[in-house]
Structure 1
Amino acid sequence: MNKWIELCMTKRGTSLTNPFGPEVDVMKVGTKMYALFSTDGAPTVSLKCEPFRADSLREQYPEIKPGYHLNKKHWNTVSLDGNLTDEEIEAMIDHSYDLVILSMTKNERSNIGT
């Protein structure tokens, strides 16, 4: 298991699933996706992102592209090739998780203990 999946697994209510096949590890909080790790080819992670921030990150970093096979307004696909710092990647994972938590109903948040 890579260090980013291990980080995700420390977040309350997170589960690891493979609904798109073994080459994509999908991290969910409750029933909602917040990180998709691709092991097919160069390693990447797709993360939910606030639209203005998503655009800003894409302008700043060539390693960050619009979400692959996802809503490009709300998702970024990030290359895990070593050019971004661990802190930058961790902040993007945290932001994605937090956005998904905020989109949940009170009952859904209660079910995962937040």
Structure 2
Amino acid sequence: MKITLSKRLGLTAMLALAAVMYTASGTVYAETSKLVIESGDSAQSRQNAAMDKEQWDDTRSLRQKVNKRAEKEWDKADVAFDAEDKCQQSSNVNAYWEPNTLRCLDRRTGRAITP
């Protein structure tokens, strides 16, 4: 069987074309099998974010109560500090500061006094 030059070039061209088409179809298949999410989030991350927000909202009232309580305790300590200072600087010699009750008391009667 004798193959001429033109037939050989034709066969070579067909094989090259077949190889290119095979490679191209493989590349297209590989590209279409991928799912690209440009924003970087997924349904799972959105669900986690929604659950975190719900948890945050649910604990909001508790956080507010804790903050109010802490503020109330701080205010109480601040007022007691000022009252202790006034009691110790009082001109009344019978006045003394009671640290357990946070009051200024009279030594003779034990009653609270206002310095």
Length-normalised TM-score, structure 2? 0.20
Length-normalised TM-score, structure 1? 0.20
Task: Please say which structure displays the higher CA radius of gyration.
Answer: 2
Query: Which has the larger share of helix?
Result: 2
